[in-house]
A and B are shown apart, each in its own frame.
Chain A
Amino acid sequence: MTLDALDTATKTALFEYLLRLGDDALILGHRLSEWCGHGPYLEEDIALANIALDCLGHANALLGLAGEVEGAGQSADDLAFFRDAIEFRNVQLVELPRGDFAFTIARQFLFSAYAHLLYEGLRESTFEPLAGIAAKAYKEVSYHLRHSSEWMLRLGDGTDESHRRTQQALNDLWMYTGELFEADDVLHALVEAGIAPDVPAARSRWKDMVTTVLEAATLQLPPEPPYMASGGRTGFHTEHLGHLLAEMQFLPRAYPDATW
C-alpha cells in the first residue's frame, strides 16, 4: 500500500502514529548522546554514541515519512526542531534525565525490548514505506537489546553497588513503562488497517522477555505501582522535556538557515 491509497482519516492517524514513533527515537537518541565524552570507559562511550546515532537515524526516517504523510511540506528537521514540548508525542520514559549508568542501561533495556516487538511487527506493515524503515531498524534495535541485556546481567550480578543501583533504576522506571502499551483510537484504526502491529496485545511477551533477563541478572521485577505515568502521547510531559528541547533546538531556532 502506498501513500496515495490511504484515505484522509487513515492519513491523519498515521501522521500521529509516526510522530509517536519518531519522537520516542529522537528524544531517547538525544538522551543517549549526552553520554558522549562521559562514558564509563572509551569503548562504552563509543557504543552509547553508536546507539544514539541509530536512534537519530530512526527518528530521521520516521519524522521524514510523517512529513510526507501530513503533506504540509514539513521536513524531519522542521518536526524535530520547530515544535514545542506540548506538540511532542513521545512517552515520558525516554525524556527522563539520563541518571547514572545503571539508569541509562535499565531504561535502554526496557525500551529496546519494546522496540524489538514493535519493529518486528512493523516489518509486516501493509504501508510499504513504513515496512522498509522497520526492516532496517529491527536489526539495529536487536543489537540495542543485546547490548543492554548483557549490561543488565553484569550490573545486576556484579558488585553490591551495581546491583543496588540497577534495582533502584528499575524500581524508579517501572511506572513509566505502562505508556509503551497504551491503546487508543489512533492505534486501533491502524491495527485494523494492517499498518501498525498490536503491541499492547504483546505486553505479556514483553514482560516475559524482561523477566527472563532480570532473573538471570539476580534482579527483582518491580511490584506493579499504584500509578502508571501517562500523557506523553497526548502532549503531557514531565518538566524535563522542555529543558531537553531548549538545548536540542537552540541552534536551528537561533539560526534557522544554518546548514552543517
Chain B
Amino acid sequence: MTETNDRMVPWEVFVQPRAGAPHEHAGNVHAADAEMALQNARDVYARRGNVVSIWVVPAAAIHASRPEDTGPFFDPADDKPYRHPSFYKVPHGTRNI
C-alpha cells in the first residue's frame, strides 16, 4: 500500500438505512472528487447493510463545534427544562419525531 496521493482528501460519509430515515454519519473515505467519494463510500459502508441513499461531504466543508465549547455552548439549555419536548404526550405508534 503506497502513500495516499496528496490529491486525495477526506470525505465524510452519511448513509440512510431506509426511505424517510435520517442520514447518519457512517465514517469517512479518501477521494479526489465527489463521484469517486460516492463509489468508495458505497464499497466501504454500503455493501453489507441496507442502504438506500448516501451523502458524501468534503470534510473541510464541515464547520464543527470544538470540544472546549462544551460548557458555554451547550450548558444554558440545561436549566430551561421547558425547552425540552418532554411534556407532550406522543401519540401511540408514532416514531421518528
**A interface with B by C-beta (< 8 Å):** 37-47, 50, 143, 146-147, 150, 154
How far, in whole Å, are A43 and B42 apart by their CA atoms in the complex? 10
How far, in whole Å, are A46 and B29 apart by their CA atoms in the complex? 11
Is B35 part of the contact surface with A, judged by Cβ < 8 Å?
A: yes
The contact of A41 among B8, B39, B42, B43, by CB within 8 Å, is B8
Q: A146-B39, A150-B36 are in contact. Are A39 and B1 (CB under 8 A)?
A: yes
Q: Judging by beta carbons under 8 Å apart, are B4 and A150 in contact? A: no
Q: Judging by beta carbons under 8 Å apart, are B40 and A47 in contact? A: yes
Is B89 part of the contact surface with A, judged by Cβ < 8 Å?
A: no
23 contacts between A and B (CB under 8 A): A37-B1, A38-B1, A39-B1, A40-B2, A41-B1, A41-B5, A41-B30, A42-B1, A42-B30, A43-B29, A43-B31, A43-B40, A44-B40, A46-B43, A47-B39, A47-B40, A47-B43, A50-B43, A50-B47, A143-B42, A146-B39, A147-B39, A154-B32
Counted as pairs of residues, one from A and one from B, with CB atoms less than 8 Å apart, the total is: 36
How far, in whole Å, are A45 and B2 apart by their CA atoms in the complex? 11
User: Measured between C-beta atoms, what is the minimum distance from B91 to chain A in Å?
Assistant: 40
How far, in whole Å, are A154 and B35 apart by their CA atoms in the complex? 11
User: Measured between C-beta atoms, what is the minimum distance from B84 to chain A in Å?
Assistant: 41
Q: Judging by beta carbons under 8 Å apart, are B44 and A45 in contact? A: no
Q: Judging by beta carbons under 8 Å apart, are B36 and A41 in contact? A: no
**B interface with A by C-beta (< 8 Å):** 1-2, 4-5, 8, 29-32, 35-36, 39-40, 42-44, 47
Chain A residue nearest in CB terms to B40:
A43
Chain B residues closer than 8 Å to A39, beta-carbon distance: 1
Q: Is the interface of A mostly helix, strand, loop or mixed?
A: helix
How far, in whole Å, are A143 and B30 apart by their CA atoms in the complex? 19
User: Measured between C-beta atoms, what is the minimum distance from B70 to chain A in Å?
Assistant: 32
Q: Is the interface of B mostly helix, strand, loop or mixed?
A: mixed
Chain A residues closer than 8 Å to B47, beta-carbon distance: 50
Chain B residue nearest in CB terms to A153:
B35
Chain B residues closer than 8 Å to A150, beta-carbon distance: 35-36, 39
Chain A residue nearest in CB terms to B43:
A47
How far, in whole Å, are A260 and B25 apart by their CA atoms in the complex? 35
Chain A residues closer than 8 Å to B36, beta-carbon distance: 150, 154
How far, in whole Å, are A154 and B7 apart by their CA atoms in the complex? 12
**Closest 4 CB pairs between A and B?**
A43-B40, A47-B43, A41-B4, A43-B29
Chain A residues closer than 8 Å to B29, beta-carbon distance: 43
Chain A residue nearest in CB terms to B36:
A150
Q: Which of B30, B31, B32, B36 has most chain A Cβ within 10 Å?
A: B36
The contact of B43 among A40, A43, A154, by CB within 8 Å, is A43
Chain B residues closer than 8 Å to A50, beta-carbon distance: 43, 47
Chain B residue nearest in CB terms to A44:
B40
Chain A residues closer than 8 Å to B1, beta-carbon distance: 37-39, 41-42, 45
Chain B residues closer than 8 Å to A42, beta-carbon distance: 1, 30
In the complex, besides A38-B1, A42-B1, A150-B35, 16 extra interface pairs with C-beta distance below 8 angstroms are A39-B1, A40-B2, A41-B4, A41-B5, A43-B29, A43-B43, A45-B1, A46-B40, A46-B44, A47-B40, A50-B43, A50-B47, A143-B42, A146-B39, A147-B39, A154-B36
